A = this chain, B = another copy of it.
């Protein structure tokens, strides 16, 4: 498969679309990012990496961090994790409190904000320093010790994150947060503020396309079953309230963030990361969605 040819062609075609989306504005630090940026990185199971655009430029991974927190929590808790969060699509915006009230404090899935707060709480209950633990985990997965928090973004989220604070206290009121809400929020905001490049993210997700093992060393990050499970959750819940549209158009398990990044996995074939800061109405990268849609069409590879 000529991955390099495919992504170069996509980059060329996508360039006129870079003006269309809107950069996330609810976090002041993210609102400053220029929208006319695009990058893509493909990591195959035999160790090759193909890139186009600014594939080494770091951006705020935001909700993509939920993928790494979930993986870590599954390592720590196993199946017991599903006592504290569901794994069903939500049918509601990612930051809605309505469903949480209806379902008495059990988030629908670990990728809506409420679910990610519970996942963070689980990590905190096991490990003293949840901030550093997740950062170290991501560094190891990506094979890049230079990955850092963007502290300005973390502070920006903290000072404006009243809805997340509301959610943490709401979870606490249902008994589904065991630690102090302020500590959970601090860790959560830092995880969202990790800065990574497309190359970093394609590498960090490669184990999900490799039955749970790091492609280089073969070391198991999670079991084969768990990798399968995480892929299935990405497919049904990974792209906010557009999971059905994403499955329909792209046809790969994926996880997006409002920083404009999207990662996808194609089991036994590759992991891929695309980045462009302009978002569509669902909060996913506009150009990123288009690029992934063309990628599965041109390569003829999708899970369906």
Contact = CB atoms under 8 A, between A and B. Distances in A.
A158 interface: no
A237 B245 CA distance: 11
Interface string A72-110: 000000000000001111111000111101100000110
Interface residues of A, number: 48
Contacts of A90: 89, 91
A247 interface: yes
Interface in A109-149: 109
A166 B97 CA distance: 10
A173 B163 contact: yes
Interface in A193-229: 227-229
Nearest to A229: B248
A12 interface: no
A157 interface: no
Given A163-B173, A236-B236, A89 B87 contact: no
A170 B247 contact: no
A243 interface: yes
A301 to B, nearest CB: 11
A169 interface: yes
B242 A247 contact: no
Interface in A145-168: 162-163, 165-168
> Which residue among A98, A101, A247 has the maximum number of chain B CB atoms within 10 Å of its CB?
A247
A233 interface: yes
A267 interface: yes
A169 B162 contact: yes
Interface string A169-208: 1101100000001000000000000000000000000000
A89 B170 contact: no
Contact of A173 (B99, B162, B304): B162
Given A99-B91, A173-B163, A251 B236 contact: no
Given A88-B89, A89-B91, A91-B91, 17 more contacts: A86-B244, A88-B243, A89-B90, A89-B236, A162-B169, A166-B166, A169-B169, A228-B251, A232-B247, A233-B248, A235-B236, A235-B304, A237-B244, A253-B304, A267-B303, A267-B304, A303-B304
10 contacts: A88-B89, A88-B244, A163-B169, A166-B167, A166-B170, A228-B304, A231-B304, A232-B247, A236-B244, A267-B304
A-B residue pairs, 7 tightest by C-beta: A91-B91, A89-B89, A162-B173, A166-B170, A166-B169, A88-B244, A232-B247
